[in-house]
Amino acid sequence: MWQIEEPEDPRLSDYSNLTDAASARGNFFIVEGVIALNRLLGTAGGTKPGSVRSVLLTPNRAASLGSIVSACESLSIPVLVAPREVLSLVTGFDVHRGVLAAVNRAEDASVESVLLDAQRLVVLEAINDHENLGSIFRNAAALGIDGVLLDQRCSDPLYRRSIRVSLGHVLSTPWCRCAELSSSLPVLRRAGYRLVGLTPRVEAQVVGEAVEEGVLDAPVAFVLGAEGGGLTEETLQNCDALVRIPMSAGVDSLNVATSLAVVASFAAAAAARSFEPS
């Protein structure tokens, strides 16, 4: 472990100015929190030699996280230890979790690699809120989604806040960027996926009815749009089916990540019932 006392120490340069306005980190990204770091160290990508540039801990965290320190040392990952006030000066915010890591970006995955053996996908259009994006990945991992495709307008899933909100599932769930959805959705259809757009529009089928009719059966791709505007008209037209969640009077829709959780829960429950002995 390397003890660091000064915020100007060059070994802390990867962690400078980690504010929301500084989301782009070039060829590496930042992981925050114990849960996300544990997931990173437990994934194949995270344990490749040289993939983790360093881990930065407060003294209290270094003392209490002996297993993480040992894992890092066995993988030749530098462990930097600095007081919390030093971390605050360097990063630009109060790192109250006391755990950060700088990780080299791997080569971008291809659509083909994400589709490999995948039965349930999520396709995202213009999701630009980091917390929503992280929540989508967390819900996807919890509810049997095998991969996530993002269009070019989506935010970076490897931004620090997205990784933290996802509890590190961004690091273990297969995902990739794709071209415009107008050209990508037909590729998914030809690969055998039913394209199900989630929308509050009244003409969409109620989710319970969609389950009964097999609309959510795998292989399926759930297509989600950003808060407010939702899916574009072109994308809605490119979907094979539209599904909505019934709302109480006066409420238009749910948060996009919550909507995925509801619909994916219906799909997972239906799949589980299909395997029950008759």
User: In this structure, what CATH number is given to the domain that contains residue 76?
Assistant: 3.30.1330.30
pLDDT tens profile 231-262: 999 999 999 999 999 989 888 888 999 999 99
Q: What percent of the chain has pLDDT over 70?
A: 93
Please check the confidence at residue 278 and state whether its pLDDT lies above 60: no
What rounded mean pLDDT belongs to the chain? Answer: 91
**pLDDT tens digits, one per residue of 207-237:** 999 999 999 999 999 999 998 889 999 999 9
Sole residue written with tokens 């299909």: 274
Mean pLDDT of 33-55: 79
| Final residue before a domain boundary, out of 69, 104, 139 | 104
Tokens representing residue 94 in the block:
């109060």
Q: Which of 171, 259, 267, 164 is nearest to 210 (CA)?
A: 267
Reading the block at residue 42, the tokens are 């437990």
Reference 122, options 148, 142, 100, 99; nearest CA is 148
Among 45-54, 57-66, 116-125, the minimum mean pLDDT is found in 45-54
Domain count across the chain? 2
Task: Fill in the amino acid letter for 63.
Answer: A
Residues 80 and 118 in one domain: no
pTM of the predicted model over 0.85: yes
73 with 187, same domain? no
Query: What pLDDT score was predicted for residue 274?
Result: 63
CB 158 within 8 A of CB 164: no
Query: H helices of the chain, where?
Result: 34-42, 59-64, 66-74, 84-91, 111-115, 130-142, 160-165, 181-190, 207-212, 233-238, 256-274
| Per-residue model confidence (pLDDT) at position 44 | 46
76 Cβ contact partners less than 8 Å away, ≥ 6 residues apart: 49
Query: What pLDDT is recorded for position 26?
Result: 73
d(CA 59, CA 64) in angstroms, rounded, equals 9
Q: Has residue 193 got a pLDDT over 60?
A: yes
Tally of CA atoms within 13 A in the half-sphere of 156 that contains its CB: 17
Enter the tokens of residue 51.
């993939």
Q: Read off the CATH number of the domain in which 259 is found.
A: 3.40.1280.10
Peptide bond into 277 cis (omega under 30): no
Place of tokens 């749910």: 254
- Render pLDDT for 125-179 as a digit per residue (tens, 0 to 9): 999 999 999 999 999 999 999 999 999 999 999 999 999 999 999 999 999 999 8
Alpha carbon distances (Å) from 112 to 3, 148, 185, 187, 235: 44, 12, 13, 10, 21
- In this prediction, residue 253 carries a pLDDT of 82
Last residue of a domain, one of 104, 120, 149: 104
* Domain match, 257 and 181 both: yes
Residue of 105, 81, 104, 85 lying closest to 93 (CA atoms): 85
Show which of 104, 137, 172 is a domain's final residue: 104
One-letter amino acid of 53? R
Query: Which pLDDT score, from 0 to 100, does residue 49 have?
Result: 57
Crossing angle for the helix pair 130-142 and 256-274, nearest 10 degrees?
A: 10
Q: Which domain holds residue 210?
A: 111-274
